[in-house]
């Protein structure tokens, strides 16, 4: 075999919006595409306007201030643009968003040539999305739309990824999320030439045939243009697949914050974050303060590590550290890690 193997670069690139003592949130960017997803809307100052303007879908766990205060910045930078933003949140979310926007004066927007629009969806236990459209030119007054199904918590079903939600308990309903990128096909471009072909739109068809799982003996037409004339060849799909491509499994990124340590949450989190490549999970308190964590319906670092381990996550990123530990960041990290790697357990884990 000739050629350099293409690097299996992940399509999704995620990072915390703020350091772990700052407001919670994760930004997910897409390789090669000017597209972004945002989980929670706390303090967004650390995200540039350029990055924020790429965001098309926003997922809000709940509307405590540290998760929702960034709506203002978001609306402000999109105002005057012809753009539709999709926001997802827990029951009551449409009211919260529209009340926040109702606090401003909008007497001039009727004359805007653009119509910046928010499509706001609430996800609840009934596996449906209650939806409203809030248009700038209609002074962001919610227009209710027909509800749609969100079976198994499927909020978004795009060509290259899906987003799922699960309703968790934080004393109030609080959503956890998971993004799952579809598997995709990489092509060794230099091998295309080695086989005597040239690159062209046929490669896109080849990728689609592979992802459809067409049988290996399917004849596949390779067609390209060179020096003004059209060239054609035919090969079995299986041969082209083996020689030219590599299938890259999709990544999964899970995001869970502000949840109580109880049985229902544990079960729902296991399902949502199952086998995640990266699991962002709150680790607000130390296990020695488990009672405080319980009273505030938050996790301890040891509980977070345990949940990530049980879900089979490959990597855990703890965040949303309580400011009471501002000089003990290492203790939170070590405790989460010890539990994640199985060298320690959260208190009371024997009763799980």
The Cα–Cα gap between 22 and 6 comes to: 37
**Cβ proximity to Zn ion, 43 vs 214, nearer residue:** 43
Between the CA of residue 5 and those of 2, 9, 200, 244, 246, what are the distances in Å?
Answer: 9, 11, 20, 10, 9
- Candidate segments 64-72, 75-83, 89-97, 223-231, binder of Zn ion by CB under 5 A: 64-72
Q: How far is the CB of 72 from Zn ion (least distance, A)?
A: 18
The Cα–Cα gap between 91 and 326 comes to: 33
Q: How far is the CB of 303 from Zn ion (least distance, A)?
A: 15
**Cβ proximity to Zn ion, 206 vs 272, nearer residue:** 272
Q: Is 66 in the site for Zn ion (CB under 5 A)?
A: yes
Q: Is 258 in the site for Zn ion (CB under 5 A)?
A: yes
**Cβ proximity to Zn ion, 93 vs 220, nearer residue:** 93
The Cα–Cα gap between 84 and 122 comes to: 17
**Cβ proximity to Zn ion, 240 vs 283, nearer residue:** 283
- Candidate segments 97-105, 220-228, 256-264, 323-331, binder of Zn ion by CB under 5 A: 256-264
- Candidate segments 3-11, 62-70, 127-135, 244-252, binder of Zn ion by CB under 5 A: 62-70
- Candidate segments 32-40, 96-104, 190-198, 258-266, binder of Zn ion by CB under 5 A: 258-266
CA atoms within 13 A on the CB side of 171: 10
Q: How far is the CB of 245 from Zn ion (least distance, A)?
A: 44
Helix (H) or strand (E) holding 117: strand 117-123
Beta strands in 4-60 (DSSP E): 12-16, 26-30, 36-39, 55-59
**Cβ proximity to Zn ion, 78 vs 319, nearer residue:** 319
Residue from 46, 64, 184, 309 binding Zn ion (CB under 5 A): 64
**Cβ proximity to Zn ion, 39 vs 220, nearer residue:** 39
Q: Is 40 in the site for Zn ion (CB under 5 A)?
A: no
Q: Is 182 in the site for Zn ion (CB under 5 A)?
A: no
223, 202 contact by CB (below 8 A): yes
**Cβ proximity to Zn ion, 258 vs 335, nearer residue:** 258
- b/e per residue, 70-89, with b = 16+ CB within 10 A? bbebbbebbeeeebebbbbb
- Candidate segments 211-219, 226-234, 235-243, 254-262, binder of Zn ion by CB under 5 A: 254-262
Q: How far is the CB of 274 from Zn ion (least distance, A)?
A: 24
Gyration radius (Cα) of the chain, Å: 24
10, 28 contact by CB (below 8 A): no
**Cβ proximity to Zn ion, 59 vs 140, nearer residue:** 59
273, 178 contact by CB (below 8 A): yes
Q: Supply φ then ψ for residue 198, to 5 degrees.
A: -125, 155
Q: Is 296 in the site for Zn ion (CB under 5 A)?
A: no
Residues that bind Zn ion (CB under 5 A): 64, 66, 258
């Amino acid at each position: 075999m000739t050629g350099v193997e293409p690097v299996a670069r992940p399509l999704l690139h995620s990072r915390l919006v703020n350091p772990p003592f700052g407001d919670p949130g994760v930004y997910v960017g897409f390789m090669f595409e000017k597209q972004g997803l945002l989980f929670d809307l706390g303090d967004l100052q650390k995200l540039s306007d350029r990055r924020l303007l790429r965001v098309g879908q926003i997922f809000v766990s709940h509307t405590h201030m540290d998760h929702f205060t960034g709506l203002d910045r978001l609306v402000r930078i999109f105002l005057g643009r012809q753009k539709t933003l999709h926001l997802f949140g827990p029951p009551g979310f449409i009211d919260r968003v529209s009340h926040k926007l109702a606090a401003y004066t909008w007497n001039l927007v009727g004359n805007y040539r653009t119509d910046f629009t928010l499509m706001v969806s609430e996800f609840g236990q009934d596996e449906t999305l209650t939806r409203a459209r809030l248009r700038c030119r209609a002074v962001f007054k919610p227009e209710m739309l027909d509800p749609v199904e969100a079976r198994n918590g499927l909020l978004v079903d795009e060509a290259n990824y899906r987003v799922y939600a699960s309703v968790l308990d934080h004393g109030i309903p609080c959503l956890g999320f998971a993004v799952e990128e579809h598997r995709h096909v990489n092509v060794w471009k230099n091998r295309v030439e080695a086989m005597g072909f040239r690159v062209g739109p046929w490669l896109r068809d080849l990728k689609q045939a592979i992802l459809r799982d067409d049988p290996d003996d399917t004849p596949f037409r390779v067609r390209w243009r060179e020096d003004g004339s059209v060239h054609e060849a035919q090969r079995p799909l299986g041969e082209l697949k083996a020689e030219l491509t590599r299938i890259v499994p999709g990544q999964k990124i899970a995001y869970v914050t502000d949840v109580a340590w109880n049985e229902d949450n544990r079960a729902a989190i296991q399902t949502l974050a199952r086998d995640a490549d990266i699991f962002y999970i709150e680790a607000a308190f130390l296990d020695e303060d488990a009672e405080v964590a319980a009273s505030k319906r938050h996790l301890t670092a040891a509980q977070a590590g345990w949940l990530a381990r049980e879900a089979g996550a490959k990597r855990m990123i703890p965040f949303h550290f309580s400011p009471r530990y501002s000089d003990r960041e290492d203790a939170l990290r070590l405790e989460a890690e010890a539990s994640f790697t199985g060298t320690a357990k959260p208190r009371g884990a024997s009763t799980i």
